[in-house]
Structure 1
Amino acid sequence: MGNIDIFEMMANRYDTTDRIQIAKVTSDAIREYLADTNDKNAMDFGCGTGLVGMNLLNDFNFMFFLDTSQNMINQVKQKIAEFNIQNADTLCFDFEKEGRMDLQADYIFMAQVLLHINDVELVLSRLYDVLNVGGHLLIVDFNKNDEIVSDMVHNGFDQEKLIELMIKIGYREIQSKTFYTGSKIFMNHDASLFILDSQK
């Protein structure tokens, strides 16, 4: 995943008020797509400091926090220890470099992660392999914004084009919608977030 060095440096000061608030909005949006998940296992993919996944811990049997930044994972480990969380574990791993056939999940969610991934199709394909049959991949990210020009991140995504790519990979029953608009939330620009739900 791209920008690992930046995330390594900012890990211990990542949990700002704004990020905590966006994580709450995001986890509430994800929760709308959950049904009978108390016996299901989930993965917070590109979890950062675990802000979204921590909000959803009680919705699942087990939560797996995965990120490419070891410092971010260390922050999650601290929270797991501090709050004596029994139904969670962590892994520092980069799906852009290789796949993992030993991981399985019923739900994978990725919140503002896809914009940092260079090879979107490759990572979405590898996540498809990790999902159990009938499992869900939930993506929360920014709608495409042509005002943002960056060689660090994608400038958001066109929902229809992303859906076409996911159908090509094998995902089905895909639905998406814009659910939040905020001031200066994407590289100091006003932006909107969409949520996409898909199944294997």
Structure 2
Amino acid sequence: MSVSRFDHAASTWDANPARVEQARNIAAAIRQRVEGRKDLVVVDYGCGTGLVTLELQGLAAEITGIDSSPAMLAELERKAQDQGLGRVRTLLADLQREPAPPIQADLVVTAMTLHHVEDVPGVVARLATMLAPGGLLCLADLDTEDGSFHQDNTGVQHFGFDRQELLEMLKRLGLTDLFATTAHTVERPTPNGNRTFTVFLVGGRKPQSDT
């Protein structure tokens, strides 16, 4: 899906109950990794309208939603203002085309975004540059599928991912305490009948020091 299509879909994006449930489950899986914290600097890349962002804001002293769609960010800004959440910020950026912003975050997440990204290793590497020492990077997306998850595959660059390949990518970036788990399961109709799809949460931590 192109930026213009995301812009067009922004105003009704949250009207899909399955999408809202998916975001809640992904956020819950992330929260389990940082239980008890309320003082984190958090970045949500590919945040869209902030479904995951706002589920995580309780962990954060400051949370920044980054997206390449102005309309999606406008929806997040509206919701944050309506809820009086001054610690929620937004940033218009596309890490496929520009460097990561100079943020040092305790938690960097991206949820259901990477399958729209052509250069996954490049974007994940840029996400990792935003980690403060000890910071956690969390990637949530579809397990490998046959292309039937989306009714329209326009803008879909990958039909899911192999968890082990992503773990190896994080290892090459120097992250430790690697993990992989299932964050969400959904049954959807496909041309060949109903099928169950799974959404993983894969992640790792930047060491406290390079020594």
Distance 2:80 2:112 in 1: 22
1:140 aligns with 2:140: yes
Distance 2:117 2:189 in 1: 19
Shift of 1:185: 8.2
- Aligned partner of 1:192 in structure 2 is 198
CA contact (8 A) 1:47 1:65 kept: yes
SS in structure 2 of the partner of residue 5 of structure 1: helix
CA contact (8 A) 2:110 2:140 kept: yes
SS in structure 2 of the partner of residue 66 of structure 1: strand
Give the 3 Å change call, closer, same or farther, for CA 31–69 of structure 1 in structure 2: same
Which AA in structure 1 matches 2:155? M
- Aligned partner of 1:156 in structure 2 is 160
Give the 3 Å change call, closer, same or farther, for CA 185–107 of structure 1 in structure 2: farther
Quick check: 170-179 or 45-54, which moved more? 170-179
Which AA in structure 2 matches 1:67? D
Gaps of 5+ in 2: 207-211
1:178 aligns with 2:182: yes
Distance 1:146 1:19 in 2: 20
Question: TM-score normalized by structure 2?
Answer: 0.87
Distance 1:151 1:144 in 2: 17
Distance 1:42 1:186 in 2: 36
Give the 3 Å change call, closer, same or farther, for CA 189–68 of structure 1 in structure 2: farther
CA contact (8 A) 1:33 1:197 kept: no
Distance 2:83 2:98 in 1: 32
- Aligned partner of 1:50 in structure 2 is 50
SS in structure 2 of the partner of residue 163 of structure 1: helix
Distance 1:18 1:66 in 2: 23
Distance 1:3 1:159 in 2: 26
1:1-200 aligned within 5 A = 3-15=2-14, 16-148=16-148, 150=153, 152-153=155-156, 154-184=158-188, 190-200=196-206
Distance 1:36 1:22 in 2: 22
Gaps of 5+ in 1: none
Which AA in structure 1 matches 2:136? H
Distance 2:132 2:58 in 1: 20
Distance 2:28 2:204 in 1: 17
Give the 3 Å change call, closer, same or farther, for CA 130–179 of structure 1 in structure 2: closer
The number of residue pairs the alignment matches comes to 199
Distance 2:169 2:203 in 1: 14
Give the 3 Å change call, closer, same or farther, for CA 129–99 of structure 1 in structure 2: same
Which AA in structure 1 matches 2:201? I
Computed over aligned residues only, the root mean square deviation of the Cα atoms, in angstroms, reads: 2.1
Instruction: Determine what percentage of the aligned residue pairs are the same residue.
Output: 28
CA contact (8 A) 2:96 2:123 kept: yes
SS in structure 2 of the partner of residue 170 of structure 1: coil
